[in-house]
């Protein structure tokens, strides 16, 4: 059932506790190198502020030990960055359930915002501790989850806090609502043909996604290193390609399950070492000589996949077709990105490397949705439900 949105509640004069994903990358000096996650939360943040809410933002950053403050994981730079983006002051509390949080929340006037320190400085966050959660919930009149990247987790701020809110409203933010719309609803009722394209390093990471998508897609195209495990399963030669010997049986099962729905590369771009300036050749799949490794799909496969993607009405993409960080082995990934951008399909790009690739290539604004969550988007594509979302109020 659809969840109640932040737009459907009146935050005027209320304290809104919003779980965001400000887990941004930083360099050694603590400078934020990519503020996309902060910018993605702006619609929900601005919606509360414009309507006179008193906004309290909570997030985790990195993996601190949970035993108190660790300077390299402080959220203070994110408050400064948010202040620049909103062109208004943003206060920062040096704790989450302590005296400074109480002070900063108490000082909020309507339309003002504060950021609390890293939730994971408390062991209670990762442990899902109900006492920690109750203290956080006590700050607020309303709870909003706009942290899609953490939705597959059951950390206190994701599950125990909304539970501790009791009958007080608990809603989704715009970002989480959009992610669910694409990664769950668009996939549940797809326009056909529905084509999924999956790549990346390991079959083992994507087994559940492949199985789930084989049940609902018209075609599932395979690329990346995991294609070589499938090639082994078909009795092919894979040289020194990255393969998972212990997953060959499973690949055989998926081939049998998929039948003509499962499409494997017909050719591959190989090198004699893992580097851009290695010797290279293009050969048929399953014929990689000893001492050589597969580093990308070949041009014939690129063309075949591009054609299937161009004709699709719904596309889901997760994982690169080759070692896209190392030209010329980025060619397959580029061809796929371009075909998706040119298609008229509803196109959904999973988080992680495929999202990075589509951004780098400048096609992000030509697709329907680029997910902000790597692990979370993969779990949604596996067909999993998230407790952190289920627990929120229905429309």
Instruction: Catalogue the active-site residues.
Output: 37, 202, 352, 375
Based on the shown chain and the rule CB under 6 A, indicate whether residue 224 belongs to the binding site for ligand AMP. Answer: yes
Rounded to 5°, the CA angle 81-113-98 comes to 100
Residue 242 or 361 having the CB closest to ligand AMP: 242
Q: Which DSSP symbol is given to 28?
A: T
Residue 7 or 272 having the CB closest to ligand AMP: 272
Number of other CB atoms surrounding residue 343 within 10 Å: 21
> Quick one: which of 80, 111, 75 has its CA closest to 96?
75
The sign of the dihedral angle between the CA atoms of 213, 215, 218, 219 is positive
DSSP E strand stretches across 21-101: 54-58, 91-93
Based on the shown chain and the rule CB under 6 A, indicate whether residue 382 belongs to the binding site for ligand AMP. Answer: no
Q: Which stretch binds ligand AMP (CB under 6 A): 1-9, 141-149, 178-186, 197-205?
A: 197-205
Backbone angles phi, psi at 245, to 5 degrees: -55, -40
Footprint of ligand AMP on 133-192 (CB under 6 A): none
Exactly one of 70, 181, 205, 311 binds ligand AMP (CB under 6 A); that residue is 205
- In whole angstroms, how far apart are CA 103 and each of 89, 91, 95, 99, 136? 16, 11, 10, 6, 14
Footprint of ligand AMP on 264-303 (CB under 6 A): 294-295
Exactly one of 100, 218, 325, 382 binds ligand AMP (CB under 6 A); that residue is 325
Based on the shown chain and the rule CB under 6 A, indicate whether residue 117 belongs to the binding site for ligand AMP. Answer: no
- Least spacing, CB of residue 200 vs ligand AMP, in Å: 3
> Quick one: which of 176, 210, 198, 154 has its CA closest to 316?
198
Based on the shown chain and the rule CB under 6 A, indicate whether residue 207 belongs to the binding site for ligand AMP. Answer: no
Q: Which residue is nearest to ligand AMP (CB)?
A: 200
Exactly one of 32, 86, 201, 304 binds ligand AMP (CB under 6 A); that residue is 201
Number of other CB atoms surrounding residue 149 within 10 Å: 25
Residue 200 or 236 having the CB closest to ligand AMP: 200
Residue 258 or 271 having the CB closest to ligand AMP: 271
- Least spacing, CB of residue 224 vs ligand AMP, in Å: 4
Based on the shown chain and the rule CB under 6 A, indicate whether residue 331 belongs to the binding site for ligand AMP. Answer: no
307, with CB counted inside 10 A (0-12, 13-18, 19+), is: exposed
> Quick one: which of 274, 295, 291, 264 has its CA closest to 282?
295
- Say how many residues touch ligand AMP, by CB under 6 A: 16
Which chain residues interact with ligand AMP by CB under 6 A?
200-202, 205, 224-225, 242, 294-295, 319-320, 322-323, 325, 352-353
């Amino acid at each position: 059932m659809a969840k109640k949105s932040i737009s459907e509640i009146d935050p005027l004069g209320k304290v809104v506790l919003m779980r965001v994903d400000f887990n941004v990358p930083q360099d050694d000096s603590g400078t934020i190198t990519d503020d996309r996650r902060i910018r993605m939360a702006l619609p929900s943040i601005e919606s509360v502020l414009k309507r006179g809410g008193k906004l309290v933002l909570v997030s985790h950053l990195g993996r601190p030990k949970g035993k108190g403050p660790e300077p390299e994981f402080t959220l203070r730079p994110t408050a400064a960055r948010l202040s620049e983006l909103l062109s208004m002051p943003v206060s920062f509390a040096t704790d989450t359930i302590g005296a400074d949080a109480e002070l900063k929340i108490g000082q909020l006037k309507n339309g003002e915002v504060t950021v609390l320190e890293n939730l994971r400085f408390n062991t209670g966050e990762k442990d899902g501790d109900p006492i920690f959660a109750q203290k956080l919930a006590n700050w607020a009149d309303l709870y909003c989850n706009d942290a899609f990247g953490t939705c597959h987790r059951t950390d206190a701020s994701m599950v125990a806090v909304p539970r501790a809110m009791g009958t007080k409203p608990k809603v989704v933010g715009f970002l989480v609502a959009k992610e669910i719309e694409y990664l769950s609803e668009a996939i549940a009722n797809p326009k056909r043909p529905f084509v999924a394209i999956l790549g990346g390093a390991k079959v083992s990471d994507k087994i559940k996604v492949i199985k789930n998508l084989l049940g609902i897609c018209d075609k599932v195209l395979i690329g990346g290193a995991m294609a070589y495990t499938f090639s082994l399963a078909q009795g092919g030669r894979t040289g020194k390609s990255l393969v998972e010997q212990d997953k060959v049986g499973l690949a055989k099962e998926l081939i049998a399950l998929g039948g003509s729905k499962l499409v494997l590369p017909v050719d591959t771009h190989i090198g004699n070492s893992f580097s851009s300036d290695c010797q290279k050749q293009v050969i048929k799949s399953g014929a990689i000589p000893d001492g050589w490794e597969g580093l990308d799909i070949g041009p014939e496969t690129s063309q075949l996949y591009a054609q299937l993607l161009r004709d699709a009405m719904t596309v889901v993409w997760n994982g690169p077709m080759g070692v896209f960080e190392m030209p010329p082995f980025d060619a397959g990934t580029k061809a796929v990105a371009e075909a998706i951008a040119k298609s008229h399909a509803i196109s959904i790009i999973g988080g992680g490397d495929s999202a990075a690739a589509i951004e780098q290539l400048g096609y992000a604004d030509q697709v329907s949705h680029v997910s902000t969550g790597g692990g979370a988007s993969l779990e949604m594509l596996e067909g999993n439900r998230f407790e952190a979302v289920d627990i929120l109020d229905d429309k």
